[in-house]
Amino acid sequence: MVDAPGWRDDEEPHAFLIGGRRVGVAEVLDRWLGADHRYVKLRGDDGAVYILRHDERRGAWELAVYDRSI
C-alpha cells in the first residue's frame, strides 16, 4: 500500500510513503490511464524509478513497479 498525501486528480504527487518511508518525487517521467487504474511513472529523490497505480474506485494507491537499476 502506498500513501500519496495531497494528491488530487488534477495534480502530480510530490511525495509518497512506502512502509513509513517518505520518498520525494524528483521527476515525473510518464503518466497514463489504464482500464481500471491511473498510472504515474516517476523518479524518486532516492534515485529509484517507481510506477504507482491509483485505483480510483477504491481511492487506493499501490506500488506497481520499483526499479533501483534504472
Q: Look at residues 54, 24, 26, 19 and name the one whose alpha carbon lies nearest to residue 40.
A: 54
Report yes or no on whether pTM surpasses 0.85.
no
**Do the Cβ atoms of 41 and 58 come closer than 8 Å?**
no
Q: What is the distance between the alpha carbons of residues 29 and 62, in angstroms, rounded to a whole number?
A: 17
What's the Rg (C-alpha) of the chain?
Answer: 11
In tens digits, the chain (70 residues) has pLDDT values of 455 555 555 456 788 888 889 999 999 999 999 888 889 999 999 999 999 998 878 877 888 888 887 5
